[in-house]
Amino acid sequence: MLIRMIERSLVYPRPPRERGDWRPRWLRPQNVWFRSADNTKLHGWYVPVADSRRFIVYSHGNGEHVADLSSLVVRLQQRLNATVFVYDYRGYGRSRGTPWEKGCVADCMAAQRWLAEREGVNTDDIILMGRSLGGGVSIGAAVEQGARALVLEATFSRMTDAAAHRYPWLPVRIFMRNRYNSIRRIQKYLGPTFQSHGSADDVVPLEMALELYESSPSQMKEFYKIHFAGHNDTPPPAYYEALASFLDQVDEQFEIKLPARHHRRHRQLVS
């Protein structure tokens, strides 16, 4: 029991709900309540862009919740011309329940379904983007429901690898239940993958990220190394330029099927 409690505190160090700005006037997100597969009530922010070119579900790191993500949402909107849906896993922010691996992956899948239904597109028209823990969660959802593209930031090979690196004196490889084996999962995802990592990341070493990248069978993938960046550093503008260029290539190669209200924008996109 004690081991499980320690593991939960290490894998899911949930920040206080009071932290962050839950009413950012300059962003004006729409509060959304939705349900995971097991009926757990979840909360997220839907932030649409008029005539958006892309739809993104963003899964945050294990020490964040949506009230920490206002600046990130603006960057994604402006630099990628994207409608963004950020959400909290069970037990984070205003979402109910207790976090665990299968549940968090299910939460991402539920967020992906919600946004797809809201925009009238398929789940595999949604870009799944995640940082650190969120990258592992996004990979799990992409394997199950497809994705327009996977965008991974500072993502580990396996949660057990990252835990063993940080706590080498603990038998984490034996006792951890939240294993997030991204190496195994990503081998089942064939879609476009853009992965970035900081060269100075001391939480998830660069070698783990490269192992994950090499395990991807995708024929359309790119690795972007951010020199001198640590695990929690904000990516530079050049990162968003590279990501936008990659997603432009995805748009050119794969036709997007959108409902009638998006047809005009769609014709401009693929012309």
Query: What is the topology classification, in CATH, of domain 26-270?
Result: Rossmann fold (3.40.50)
CA dihedral 77, 84, 119, 255 (to 10 degrees): 60
Handedness of CA 159, 87, 104, 12 (dihedral sign): positive
> What's the CA gap between 204 and 200, in Å, rounded?
9
Q: Are 55 and 115 in contact (CB under 8 A)?
A: yes
- Global pTM? 0.93
Closest CA to 227 of 204, 255, 198: 198
Amino acid at 187: Q
From first to last of its 271 residues, what are the pLDDT tens digits of the chain?
666 777 888 899 999 999 999 999 889 999 999 999 999 999 999 999 998 989 999 999 999 999 999 999 999 999 999 999 999 999 999 999 999 999 999 999 999 999 999 999 999 999 999 999 999 999 999 999 999 999 999 999 999 999 999 889 888 888 899 999 999 999 999 999 999 999 999 999 999 999 999 999 999 999 999 999 999 999 999 999 999 999 999 999 876 544 544 533 332 332 2
Domain boundaries, the chain: 26-270
Q: Which helix (H) or strand (E) holds 20?
A: none
Residue corresponding to tokens 């006037």? 25
Amino acid at 25: R
